[in-house]
Chains A and B, each alone.
Chain A
Amino acid sequence: DTGVSQNPRHKITKRGQNVTFRCDPISEHNRLYWYRQTLGQGPEFLTYFQNEAQLEKSRLLSDRFSAERPKGSFSTLEIQRTEQGDSAMYLCASSPDRGGGEKLFFGSGTQLSVL
């Protein structure tokens, strides 16, 4: 079990630029989640994949946010035309598809700073 891997760990960008984050889940896990965490707050759910299918995306913060999981393996989260309010920690988590009250395995996150 190599854990959930997220890259990069830190990203600094200028307002208006596009950024993309990558998440590599635990290899046998079917489900993959993206969360956002701002300072002093708990993580906030953004979107979720079952294999390659994105089954819930209504919670993405705006149409500037999009996520993909091609071939049901790694996932990317893209933010277009970044704004200062996008500065946050972006967390990825995965879980095996065993139903009911899933235990999530989190990565260490990507810290985004928008200048």
Chain B
Amino acid sequence: AQKVTQAQTEISVVEKEDVTLDCVYETRDTTYYLFWYKQPPSGELVFLIRRNSFDEQNEISGRYSWNFQKSTSSFNFTITASQVVDSAVYFCALSEPNYGGSQGNLIFGKGTKLSVKP
């Protein structure tokens, strides 16, 4: 069965610290997608990144970087030089097998609440 585990429930850091959010997934599919979404207090989930199972290249976008390792079924997310505006709940998600041609059916982890203090 597909599963996403985010073992860190809450993390608190001081501004400018680096922080890594862990994500471990389980799937029997050979083709799948992994995602990170951010949910600020307003409630609206915001897409951060998508990675397909055939692309293990790490990605960097500004202060954000992602480390995908198939060997350990992990897709970790690092924020460098954290800022107060990074405070939010971050969700890792895995695409389910196609239902009617869609891969928008996502399995989400329970999320990690990040608090960045000034």
Contact = CB atoms under 8 A, between A and B. Distances in A.
A28 interface: no
Band of interface residues on A = 20 to 34
Contact of B100 (A40, A55, A99, A109): A55
Interface stretch (A15-23, A66-74, A87-95): A87-95
Interface string B99-110: 111111111111
B43 A50 contact: no
Contacts of B75: none
A40 B108 CA distance: 12
Interface string B74-107: 0000000000000000010101100111111111
A113 B101 CA distance: 34
B105 A33 contact: yes
A42 interface: yes
Contacts of A95: 104
Contacts of A111: 43
A101 B108 CA distance: 14
A101 B50 contact: yes
A43 B90 CA distance: 12
B44 A109 contact: yes
A91 B42 CA distance: 13
A11 to B, nearest CB: 14
B100 A41 contact: no
B45 interface: yes
A104 B91 CA distance: 13
A90 to B, nearest CB: 11
A100 B100 contact: no
A93 B46 CA distance: 11
Contacts of B105: 33, 45, 48, 56, 59
Interface of A: 31, 33, 40-45, 48, 50, 55-56, 59, 89, 91, 93, 95, 99-109, 111
In the A-B complex, list the 10 residue pairs whose CB atoms are closest, starting with the nearest: A42-B108, A55-B100, A101-B33, A102-B104, A106-B45, A56-B99, A108-B44, A45-B105, A108-B43, A109-B43
